Amino acid sequence: MSRDIIPADKPVTTDRKQYHIEVKEGDVAASVLLPGDPQRVTKMSSRWDEFREVAVHRQYVTHTGTFKGVPVSACSTGIGGPGTAIAIEELANVGVRTFVRIGSCATLKPDIEIGDLIISTGGVRLEGTSKQYVRPEYPASAHYEVVLAMVEAAENLGFNYHLGVTASTDSFYLGQSRPGFGGYTQSMSESLIDDLQRANVANFEMEAATLFTLANIYGFRSGAVCAVYANRVKNEFEVKGEDDVIDCGNEAVRILAEMDEEKSASKKRYWSRSLK
């Protein structure tokens, strides 16, 4: 009795869906929003014109639909770089080429308020996943078109927003200069915020640097916008701004579609203001 052999280096399910996220070609749009929290996917898609649930497997929840007539998908990644990299790899396998992280963060700047949005221009690679792909000197940078689209989205919606470099970590606690259980700490953790502030880093989160690195390697567009839930300088925490960051992400995908139409009509490879 013969059977198809699934290669171990390119694992898929028996019905040829991507192994972890369980989607196949045609299930997702070319632009995908990437929240960490699976519950945030439903909050995103509830604002769309229409949507359908494509897959639910492990931490990966995927919806596909349209927002103001523009095809869009959302896929949760879970927390951290490893889960994010899996989502990027498998979404890329089925045709995704624009990736926009929608998350939460802690700011390192005293003048940024809880509930504001931070649009990342680049990432400090304090996580480990990106180092499995390329040497640590390789830059983690957001695509300029995604940054511009998110700026325009935030302006259109009247949100308070900031641009800055984001530090991505593998640890929410010591990796972001919080004490561990029983007050455990290390000198490198205690000095981290001061060091990053001197380097003008805007915020902590856990996925952007992985996303930017992989997207740059593969030639994809990527970006990240996060709501500020904590101010580490003022030592304040509040879950605030989730609706704003979701709306900013949805609107940015719409704006990116406009940019792509303008590039196509002008036969240009890159978008500039003169095309508008």
We report the CATH number of the domain holding residue 127 as: 3.40.50.1580
Report the sign of the C-alpha dihedral through residues 89, 90, 92, 96, in that order. Answer: negative
Residue 26 domain-assigned (yes or no) = no
Provide the terminal-to-terminal Cα distance of the chain, rounded to the nearest Å. Answer: 61
DSSP one-letter string for 153-206: HHHHHT--EEEEEEEE-S-SSGGGT---GGG---HHHHTHHHHHHHTTEEEEES
Q: What is the largest CA-CA distance in the chain?
A: 68
Residue 34 domain-assigned (yes or no) = no
31: Cα within 13 Å, side-chain hemisphere: 26
Residue 5 domain-assigned (yes or no) = no
Residue 255 domain-assigned (yes or no) = yes
Distance CA 45, CA 161 (A): 23
Q: What pLDDT score was predicted for residue 276?
A: 81
Task: Quote the distance between the C-alpha of residue 92 and its chain's center.
Answer: 14
Structure tokens belonging to residue 225: 């916008």
121: Cα within 13 Å, side-chain hemisphere: 10
Distance CA 82, CA 211 (A): 10
Residue 51 domain-assigned (yes or no) = no
Distance CA 11, CA 27 (A): 18
**CA distances in angstroms from 222 to 88, 117, 226, 276, listed in the order given:** 10, 17, 14, 21
Amino acid at 188: M
Q: What pLDDT score was predicted for residue 236?
A: 98
Q: What pLDDT score was predicted for residue 2?
A: 47
Low-confidence ranges of the chain (pLDDT < 70): 1-3
Q: What's the pLDDT tens digit per position in 21-63? A: 999 999 999 999 999 999 999 999 999 999 999 999 999 999 9
Q: What is the pTM of this model?
A: 0.96
Residue 251 domain-assigned (yes or no) = yes
Matching residue, tokens 């690679």: 125
Residue 93 domain-assigned (yes or no) = no
**Looking at the annotation, which residues are catalytic?**
20, 90, 178, 232
Q: Please count the structural domains in the chain.
A: 1
Q: What pLDDT score was predicted for residue 4?
A: 79
Matching residue, tokens 């259980």: 181
Domain of 135? 101-275
Decide: 98 and 220 in contact? Cβ < 8 Å: yes
Q: What pLDDT score was predicted for residue 159?
A: 98
Residue 67 domain-assigned (yes or no) = no
Q: What pLDDT score was predicted for residue 194?
A: 98
